[in-house]
Structure formats: C-alpha cells, structure tokens
C-alpha cells in the first residue's frame, strides 16, 4: 500500500527519520520508494506480529484481515484482504501516527503517480475506478496541494476537472462535509490519492517557549523537540529521560506522545520552572490544562547528570540538549568532563537496543563512541547565522 507524506520543509532528513520511527513504533513495516521535493512515498504494510497491538481495539472491521489468504511464497492478496489490511494501516496512521508528527503536513493513500502535465493528470484521474474508494451514497471533494513554490497548473481548474471525472462515475460532491477527500499533490510528480489525515501543526505554536508559564531563553522550539522525541522512540508505555531537562520543553513533547518522562537538572529553580510547565498541559489536547483534564506523567529531580540516581538499564529513550557555550550551572569541573561523564551515565541507564538523541552545538560522536554507543546518524540544523545545531542519534546495542 503506497502512502504519501507531505513534509513541512524545515529539515527533510529529520522529517523522514521522524516518520519512519513512528511507523516502526506502531508495528508498520515500510520501504522508501521515492523522495520527491518535500513528498515522501512509502510502501507500508502491517507487521502481523504487531497487529493486535495496533488495531484490535479499533472500531474498524478486521474481518477481512485473513492471514490464510496470504501465500508465503508470492504474498498475493485477494481484494477483500487488501481492503481489510488497508483499513488497518489507515487506522494506525490516522490515530497513532498523524497525531504525534510535527514535520509533516498531511498523509494520503496513493492511487496513482503521473507526470505533472495537465494532459497526463487528466488521463490518470479518468482511468481510476472510484467505486473502489467511495461507497454508493458517499460524497467527495477534491483538493490540490502545491509543494513549495510550485506554480504548475495554477491557471487550470484542476480540482474541477478531477471532480468531473469522479462525478461522471455516479458520485456526488460535497464541498463542506465530504465523506472522502481526493488529494492531488503537485511536487516533482503528480501524486493522486485519498487524504488519510492532516497534521495539526498549529498546536505546537500554542506551546511556544514564550507562551509557557515559565520561560527561559535558549530552549528548543516545540516542533523540533517533538521530532527528536519521535526519533528517539518515545511513545505510550515508554520511559523517557532528559538528564539536562531545563524548563522541560523536551519532556512536554515526549510526554504528550504518551510516554512517562523523567527530567533532571542541576538547578533547583529550573526544576521548579519545569514542574510549573509540565503540570500546565493536558495529555489529551496538548493545550493548557483545565479542571478535570489529564496531565502528563512526569518525575523531576534536582540531580547531577554525571551521577544520576537511576537504576541501570531502566530507560527506554533519552532526549537531551546539554549545555555548551552558554551560561549554565554544572557540577563537573569542566564542560568536557561534563560530556564525558554524562554520556557514560546515559549509556548506563539506557536499556540495550534503545536510542538516545543529543542536541548540541558541538560534535559529540567522540563522547558517544567512548561511552559505548553506536552513532546511527548525525544531522546539522542551521538555526541562525551564529548557531548551527548538531543532532546525534545513538543506539545502545543489544548485549552479546
């Protein structure tokens, strides 16, 4: 099953890593087919070993998911089985993946991919059997998404032409409350499909640092903090640590994915501020909590990141932004020693096979490798003229 993810454009590599990490966490198996300009095309299927974890509690009809119809040699599926599996995938994407993503605008189920000319697009949409996507009494609407400054077909009523192709097959349009949205993504190619979910990126603006109850300069923006939280593997049932938690920005974003979060900082006043921030957000809405709302599950402590009061191999993910080149209260003799000792502590408390993401203004590969971590990826993010962040993804390999 092909799916298109429209990327926000802030950092393509991190956006892709965020998506693939969320898919893995939710038991979806995938392969990358294309990466167009800000549009990622994946072939996604369900890991049968994780089906129960992802769709058994849903309201969808799983009766069509019958593994006996799957030939182990050629993996051929009958039409009903495909429909059932597709519903399962879309349920997970809509209810588990889209709500936590931060660097994606929308997810669509791909019907066809064509060249970007008007003739090619019209031929493509006219060849589609829309009864596969719409029930007899269901309505539809057509929307076009132009990636970046793509001005192709701006003078053509392409939505109307596609809508006409659907209408001629006996279906009715509804511009206000349609049952199905057909989406044409104009990027390097024309990607035509049905909308699975749009991502509410505006919610992150409500949690901007200056809007939090306790503000301290130099913290990560919520969308970026959420992306690296997702890359680390944060999610429901996971225990996530930030040993340099500051005002709790990373912890809030990890906590809103359903993880239990633990934060430490050397300064009591900063911990007090983090506590004020963490208790202020509703787990279910991500907005300021109201009476009767459910809060983030968190624990805070004033502690030395070089000597954490945490048992070994008890943490599922670590996400942190250690101090460097800015005012910070530390207990180590130097920033170099702080990095050496804190990386050893992160390695000690992290479970084997789990990941850590470290944001810094310097390269930390040397510290990571010396502590025993395997460095899986390093990304650069230019924040402004005088600041470029380094984001390092590390893994504690399984014991041999």
**Is the Cα dihedral 271, 273, 279, 281 positive or negative?**
negative
Q: What is the pLDDT of residues 206-244, one digit of tens each?
A: 999 999 999 988 889 999 999 999 999 999 999 999 999
Please check whether residues 120 and 17 belong to one and the same domain.
Answer: yes
Tell me the H-state helices in 26-78.
51-55
Which of 198, 218, 243 terminates a domain? The answer is 198
Q: What is the pLDDT of residues 113-153, one digit of tens each?
A: 999 999 999 999 999 999 999 999 999 999 999 997 777 78
Q: Indicate the pLDDT class of residue 83, thresholds 50, 70 and 90.
A: low
Please check whether residues 194 and 230 belong to one and the same domain.
Answer: no
pLDDT for res 206: 93
Tell whether 155 is covered by a domain: yes
Mean pLDDT of 76-81: 48
Please check whether residues 38 and 161 belong to one and the same domain.
Answer: yes
pLDDT for res 201: 93
Please check whether residues 215 and 139 belong to one and the same domain.
Answer: no
Any idea what DSSP says for residue 222? H
Please check whether residues 55 and 130 belong to one and the same domain.
Answer: yes
Its domain, for residue 341, covers 202-395
Report whether 27 contacts 35 (CB < 8 A): no
Please check whether residues 348 and 380 belong to one and the same domain.
Answer: yes
| Other beta carbons less than 10 A from residue 37's beta carbon | 14
Tell whether 145 is covered by a domain: yes
Segment among 1-10, 147-156, 259-268, 386-395 with least mean pLDDT = 147-156
CA-to-CA distance for 396 and 400, rounded, in angstroms? 12
CA-to-CA distance for 269 and 247, rounded, in angstroms? 10
Please check whether residues 124 and 11 belong to one and the same domain.
Answer: yes
Which of 163, 198, 233 terminates a domain? The answer is 198
pLDDT for res 329: 55
Which backbone phi and psi does 396 adopt, to 5 degrees?
-90, 110
Please check whether residues 222 and 94 belong to one and the same domain.
Answer: no
**Entry pTM:** 0.90
Q: What pairing do the DSSP bridges indicate for beta strands 104-114 and 190-198?
A: antiparallel
Q: What pairing do the DSSP bridges indicate for beta strands 298-302 and 260-265?
A: parallel
Q: Indicate the pLDDT class of residue 48, thresholds 50, 70 and 90.
A: low
User: Average pLDDT over the chain, rounded to whole?
Assistant: 90
Which of 171, 198, 225 terminates a domain? The answer is 198
Please check whether residues 277 and 210 belong to one and the same domain.
Answer: yes
Please check whether residues 101 and 18 belong to one and the same domain.
Answer: yes
Please check whether residues 176 and 237 belong to one and the same domain.
Answer: no
CA-to-CA distance for 362 and 390, rounded, in angstroms? 6
Please check whether residues 142 and 182 belong to one and the same domain.
Answer: yes
Q: Indicate the pLDDT class of residue 77, thresholds 50, 70 and 90.
A: very low
Q: Indicate the pLDDT class of residue 291, thresholds 50, 70 and 90.
A: very high
Domain total in the chain: 2
- Burial track 85-105 (b if 16+ CB lie within 10 A, e otherwise): bbbbbbbbbebbbbbbbbbbb
Residue 24: CA count within 13 A, CB half-sphere? 13
Q: What is the pLDDT of residues 254-279, one digit of tens each?
A: 999 999 999 999 999 999 999 999 99
Q: What is the pLDDT of residues 152-181, one digit of tens each?
A: 788 899 999 999 999 999 999 999 999 999
Residue 16 has pLDDT above 70, yes or no: yes
Residue 65 has pLDDT above 60, yes or no: no
Residue 80 has pLDDT above 80, yes or no: no
Q: What is the pLDDT of residues 306-339, one digit of tens each?
A: 999 999 999 999 999 998 754 455 666 788 999 9
Tell whether 400 is covered by a domain: no
DSSP assignment string, 285-314: TSSBP-TT--B--EEEEE--TTS-SS-TT-
Annotate 308-364 with three-state secondary structure: CCCCCCCEEEEEECCCCCCCCCCCCCCHHHHHHHHHHHHHHHEEEEEEEEEEECCCC
pLDDT for res 150: 72
* Nearest residue to 94 via CA among 204, 17, 197: 197
Beta-carbon contacts of 23 under 8 Å, excluding residues fewer than 6 positions away, are 29, 30, 42, 44, 97
Beta-carbon contacts of 333 under 8 Å, excluding residues fewer than 6 positions away, are none
CA-to-CA distance for 108 and 99, rounded, in angstroms? 14
């Amino acid at each position: 099953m092909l799916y298109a993810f429209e990327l926000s454009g802030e950092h393509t590599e991190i956006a892709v890593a965020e998506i693939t990490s969320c898919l893995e966490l939710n038991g979806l198996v995938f392969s990358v087919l294309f990466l167009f300009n800000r549009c990622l095309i994946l072939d996604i299927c369900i890991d049968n070993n994780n089906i129960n974890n992802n769709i058994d509690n849903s309201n969808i009809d799983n009766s069509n998911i019958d593994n006996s119809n799957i030939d182990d040699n050629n993996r051929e599926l009958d039409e009903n089985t495909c429909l059932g599996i597709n519903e399962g995938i879309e349920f997970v994407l809509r209810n588990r993946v889209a709500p936590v993503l931060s660097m994606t605008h929308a997810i669509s189920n791909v019907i066809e991919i064509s060249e970007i000319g008007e003739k090619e697009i019209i031929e493509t949409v006219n060849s589609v059997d829309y009864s596969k996507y719409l029930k007899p009494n269901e309505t539809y609407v057509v929307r076009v998404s132009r990636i970046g400054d793509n001005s192709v077909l701006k003078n053509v009523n392409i939505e109307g032409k596609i809508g006409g192709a659907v209408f001629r097959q006996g279906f009715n349009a509804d511009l206000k409350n349609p049952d199905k949205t057909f989406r044409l993504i104009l990027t390097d190619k024309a990607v035509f499909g049905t909308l699975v979910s749009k991502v509410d990126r505006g919610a992150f603006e409500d949690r901007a640092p200056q809007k939090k109850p306790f503000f301290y300069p130099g913290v990560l923006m919520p969308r970026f903090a959420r992306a690296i939280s997702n890359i680390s593997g944060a999610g429901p049932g996971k225990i996530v640590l930030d040993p340099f938690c500051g005002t709790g920005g990373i912890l809030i974003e990890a906590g809103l994915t359903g993880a239990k979060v633990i934060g430490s900082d050397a300064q009591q006043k900063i911990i007090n501020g983090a506590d004020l921030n963490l208790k202020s957000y509703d787990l279910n809405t991500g907005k300021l909590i109201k009476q009767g709302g459910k809060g983030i599950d968190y624990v805070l402590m004033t502690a030395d990141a070089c000597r954490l009061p945490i048992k070994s191999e008890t943490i599922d993910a670590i996400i942190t932004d250690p101090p460097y080149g800015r005012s910070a209260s530390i207990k180590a003799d130097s920033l170099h020693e702080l990095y050496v000792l804190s990386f050893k502590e992160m390695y000690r408390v992290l479970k084997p096979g789990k990941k850590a993401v470290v944001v810094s203004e310097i390269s930390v590969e040397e510290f990571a490798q010396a502590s025993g971590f395997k460095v899986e990826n390093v990304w650069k993010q230019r924040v402004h003229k005088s600041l470029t962040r380094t984001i390092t993804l590390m893994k504690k390999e399984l014991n041999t």
